[in-house]
Every structure is written in C-alpha cells, then in structure tokens.
Amino acid sequence: MEEQIDRRLGINAGMKRAIIQDLQCLLHEHHALVRLFKSALERMPNDDYKVVIKADKRPPGTHERTFNAPTVDEVAILIVGEETTKKVSSMNYYAYRLMIRQNADNYLLRFRRLFQQYCVDMYVIETERLTFIRLNQVLGRLLPNIGGPGGACRRLYTGVVSSMALYGAPIWADALRRENIAVLRRPQRVLAVRAIRGYATVSFEAACVLAGTPPWDLEAKVLANVYRQTVEARSRGTGPEPEDIARWRQESRRGVLRTWAERLEEPTAGVLTISAIRPVLGEWTNRQHGVITYCLTQVLSGHGCFGRYLWKVARREPTAECHHCGAEEDTAAHTLSDCAAWTTQRARLVEVVGADLSLPAVVRAIACGASAWRVMITFCQEVISRKEEAERARENDPLAAQMRRRRVGRRRLAHDRRIPP
C-alpha cells in the first residue's frame, strides 16, 4: 500500500499524502473495477503480462453511458497474457527499492555497511543469473566465432555488457570480496572469448588480455575513483569540469593497468600469450588500430588448429606432430616461426617484423604498428585456413581414426558452411 502511494506521489508531484491515501483506500474498498482488476491479476498463470490502458475503448455491447466519465475519456483495461515479455525486470525492482524519495523514508538506505552488502549481493545474484546464463546463449548466437559482426560491433557489445555489469560500481567497488570477484570473472570470460573469436578453452586471463579489457573488479575501481573525486569536488563547491573528469579517468586507468600487469606476473593459464602481451600491455590495450580475427586469436592464444592443441586439449589427434613438415610438436610458435611448410607466407612477415618471429617480438610489432598488424592478419588467415582444410581432410578420410571424427551432424554442417572453401 505504502509503495502504491509513493508511486502515485511520484507521478503527480505536490499532492497531499494523506488525501491520496484516503482516496486509495476508498477505491480499493468500494470500487468494483479495482476489485475486478485485482482478482484478474491473481488469476494470471504467471507474471508475464502487461497492462494496456486504452482511453477510447469500452467493452462491446454495453450502453455508451455505462462506463462514462464526466471529463476524461472512457478507460478500458486489457490484460494481455502469454506472448508479451515481463515488464518489471529484477533490475527495475532493485532500482525501485534503492530509490531515494523525498516524501518517504527508505529504510534500506539507513543500514550503511549492511546496505552495501545488500547491493553487492543483489548485484552478484543478477550477474550470476542474468548476465551469465543469458550472455552465454545470446552471445553465442550474436557473435559466432566464424562470420558474424566485425570488430567494431564486437567492441560495442563488450562495452554495453560491461557497462551493464559495472552499473552502480561506485557503490560496490570497495565492498568486493574474493567470492564476488570470482563470480564477476565468469561472464567477463564469456564476453572476452566472444570478443576475440576465441576457442571456448581460452582462459579468463588470456581472453581478457587479448581483448584488452581489464578485469571488471579493476574497472569498477576506476569508476569508483572518478566518482569519489567528483563528489569531493562538488562538496568543495568547485564543480568538476569535463576535462577534470577525463584526467581522473586517465590517471585511474593507468593505475589499473599497473595493477593488472602485476596480477599477470604469474598467470595460471595462457602463460605464453600473457607473457608475450604483458610487456606491451598499455600499447596493446590502448592501440587505435587492429581488429582481432578468428585466425589471429588462434595463433596468439595457441588454442586452435595446432597439433599440440588438437592432441592435448581437444583430444582429436593421437600425437602432437605437425602434419605439414613432420616436426614432432606443432604449436602456435612452431607455425609462426619454424614450420617449413609456411616459408612463402612468412616472407612478408619477416620483412615487416624482422627475423625474430617469437610471439613476444611479433606481439610487440603488431601492437605498435598498423601495417605489421595487417601483415600478421594475412599470414594467420592464409596459414590457418590451410591447416583447417588439412584437418577437415583428415577428418573426412574414410580410414581416419575414430578420435578424429568429433564434429558430427548439425554442428559439423554449420561449421563447414561458415568456412569459405
């Protein structure tokens, strides 16, 4: 009841609370339509409905003055079921609970640390439930690894979802605990893997580094810092200028990059990728050029069409050998700098990057130069598509070992269709 009054006061400012309350009680007790409406709501099979009010409609067959009103148009309420979407999201509900209202006392806001904890918990539930489940499914459809939207669009999705995740960060950033941080990592990993078109096996740290997105708990600190400085400036009466805010954001971001680099000193997975990018983390993250492609990610992450990966992780090869030159172990590094089969494709890369084609050297070159990036993309595209072609031929071989026949049915067909011949 109190909430309803609050809402009515919110719509019409300047009304007396007591009068609204009396009117509301009166209507609830005596008005036939209100009762009808309430019992109709109770009969709804679920919460997925929306209420449409049409001021110019009335039930058919009734006398035109049965529902007349002295000044406003007639009101008919239509309850639409089934196919409409839920109107009040849990996010809306939390926003409603957290709102500061002038004429009402919101007890929630008085609980200080406990209130912070409430926000964090609600946030975690939200992230866990909404972001993860939905993100995983939706992003899989929206951002397939092969084909689908380009880099700019992927960056846009990443931006939108991270700002959803970081909503209200100034409030909860300092209250984050280990468990919350762990929970934040799951959706971010999904997002980062999609952003870089990576294999689902790419680790959280490697995916974030490749996508150039710092972990969300660090991003939250940037927002919280900027917010704190803004509030301080306002309380001093020197309202912050846009350039102040930009400067604070830059400073905080630099701090975050340092913390991030420290965290990456001892990675638990994706060691080669991370140790190659970490020395140029700033250049990599802030670069203005270069979109990550499906093939580039394979070479940079090592998760892709390489003997070692297919043998050890995907378990689709009996050994780690290179099918193109006979070397004992085929890795991303072998493909990039050693494999004799790709000498022609490698020539242009050597011209631009230099004789040292180790992963750190290549990463440094492409992070700092747009032309090196383009040459690297071409190299990866040519080589990986040839390797994938050979892998498909091995799979299709009627004498192939059972382990090579993994992708079957619809997944296989979809995969084949997406890869140009």
- Residues forming contacts to Zn ion in the complex (CB under 5 A) are 322, 324-325, 327, 339
Is the Cβ of residue 251 or residue 338 nearer to Zn ion in the bound state? 338
Query: Which amino acid is it at 55?
Result: A
Nearest alpha-carbon partner for 190 in 128, 147, 146, 148: 128
Residue 317: Cβ-neighbour burial (10 angstroms; 0-12, 13-18, 19+): buried
Bridge-partner residues for 52, per DSSP? 78
User: Please, what is the minimum distance in Å from the beta carbon of residue 165 to Zn ion?
Assistant: 41
CA distance 233 to 230: 5
Is the Cβ of residue 278 or residue 334 nearer to Zn ion in the bound state? 334
User: Please, what is the minimum distance in Å from the beta carbon of residue 303 to Zn ion?
Assistant: 18
User: Please, what is the minimum distance in Å from the beta carbon of residue 48 to Zn ion?
Assistant: 56
Is the Cβ of residue 154 or residue 346 nearer to Zn ion in the bound state? 346
CA distance 245 to 103: 33
User: Please, what is the minimum distance in Å from the beta carbon of residue 219 to Zn ion?
Assistant: 40
User: Please, what is the minimum distance in Å from the beta carbon of residue 358 to Zn ion?
Assistant: 16
Is the Cβ of residue 221 or residue 346 nearer to Zn ion in the bound state? 346
Q: Looking up tokens 């007639």, which residue turns up?
A: 74
Our CA dihedral for 409, 381, 135, 270, rounded to 10 degrees, sits at 110
Is the Cβ of residue 308 or residue 324 nearer to Zn ion in the bound state? 324
Could you give phi then psi for residue 50, rounded to 5 degrees? -135, 155
Could you give phi then psi for residue 377, rounded to 5 degrees? -60, -45
User: Please, what is the minimum distance in Å from the beta carbon of residue 197 to Zn ion?
Assistant: 24
CA distance 353 to 302: 20
Could you give phi then psi for residue 375, rounded to 5 degrees? -65, -40
User: Please, what is the minimum distance in Å from the beta carbon of residue 327 to Zn ion?
Assistant: 4
Is the Cβ of residue 169 or residue 295 nearer to Zn ion in the bound state? 295
User: Please, what is the minimum distance in Å from the beta carbon of residue 149 to Zn ion?
Assistant: 33
CA distance 90 to 47: 12
CA distance 250 to 256: 10
Is the Cβ of residue 203 or residue 331 nearer to Zn ion in the bound state? 331
Please name the helix (run of DSSP H) or strand (run of DSSP E) that holds residue 50, with its range, or none. Answer: strand 50-54
Nearest alpha-carbon partner for 220 in 165, 153, 144, 148: 165
Is the Cβ of residue 325 or residue 390 nearer to Zn ion in the bound state? 325
Total count of residues recorded for the chain: 421
